[in-house]
Amino acid sequence: MSEGDSVGDSVHGKPSVVYRFFTRLGQIYQSWLDKSTPYTAVRWVVTLGLSFVYMIRVYLLQGWYIVTYALGIYHLNLFIAFLSPKVDPSLMEDSDDGPSLPTKQNEEFRPFIRRLPEFKFWHAATKGILVAMICTFFEAFNVPVFWPILVMYFIMLFCITMKRQIKHMIKYRYIPFTHGKRRYKGKEDVGKTFAS
């Protein structure tokens, strides 16, 4: 392989200016993401604010309904992945390989591990809103549709999908929201001590 053949290399073997620029930009972006990790409520408030701005933009422009429908389907898909366990219990039913969710009271506690963690859910949802917002600046994405049909279809799809997810949760006895291991109180201390 000669000099300059690898990705991002210039003719002299040093990374090109464009490659260094985008590498640095990616590092800054990752740094901001890392700093925002502990601020869950703030992140979601910003995302809801962006969503509200997007909805106002679509309402004022009276268009881009198909983009909004695609965004809704994408968010529904993310939400289902957020509610689903990392290891699907229906696939683990027949085999004894790997961990499974506890189904009896005396089984060992295992925390609920999501297929899509909260941070990745937030990050993907926010990126989806930003991409949809950018799409509203291009007339090519303004496909004329009768929007009430899209709304009814989305509501129907949401109800069917959530019904299936709730049935799955009931069948395999898991709750996607855990706050740690349940603690049981022992016998109350009556304060008596043994005197010798």
Report the pLDDT value the prediction gives residue 1, as an integer from 0 to 100.
47
Which among 147, 123, 38 is positioned nearest to 75, based on CA atoms? 123
Q: Is the pLDDT of residue 96 over 80?
A: no
Question: How large a percentage of the chain has pLDDT more than 70?
Answer: 74
Q: How far is CA 19 from CA 9, 10, 25, in A?
A: 8, 9, 10
Domain count, the chain: 1
- Amino acid 88: pLDDT: 78
On whether residue 178 sits in a domain, the answer given is no
- Residue 78: which of 147, 136, 126, 134 has the closest Cα? 126
Interior/surface letters 143-160, b for 16+ CB within 10 angstroms, e for the rest: eeeebeebeeeeeeeeee
Beta bridge partners of 114: 85
Burial of 74 (0-12, 13-18, 19+ CB in 10 A): middle
* pTM score, whole prediction: 0.74
The predicted structure's pLDDT at residue 194? 62
pLDDT confidence of residue 51: 97
- Higher pLDDT pick, 173 / 181: 173
Residue 39 has what pLDDT?
A: 95
Q: How many CA atoms lie within 13 A of 161 on its CB side?
A: 17
In a domain? residue 124: yes
Instruction: Give me the mean pLDDT over the 130-148 stretch.
Output: 95
With respect to residue 190, please indicate whether it lies within any of the assigned structural domains: no
Tell me whether residue 98 is in a domain. Answer: no
Q: What is the pLDDT of residue 13?
A: 73
Look at 13-17, 62-66, 152-156 and tell me which has the smallest mean pLDDT: 13-17
Q: Residue 119 falls within a domain, yes or no?
A: yes
Q: State the average pLDDT over residues 15-40.
A: 93
Query: Does a structural domain hold residue 188?
Result: no
- The answer, yes or no, to whether residue 3 has pLDDT greater than 90, is no
Tell me if 189 is assigned to some domain.
no
- Using the predicted structure, report yes or no on whether residue 85 has a pLDDT greater than 90: no
Q: Is the pLDDT of residue 187 over 70?
A: no
How far is the first Cα of the chain from the last one, in angstroms, to the nearest whole number? 86
Range of the domain at 63: 50-90+110-172
Tell me the pLDDT band of 91, cut-offs 50, 70 and 90: confident
Q: Is residue 159 part of a domain?
A: yes
Residue 122 DSSP SS3: helix
Mean pLDDT value across residues 168-195: 69
Question: What is the overall mean pLDDT for the chain?
Answer: 84
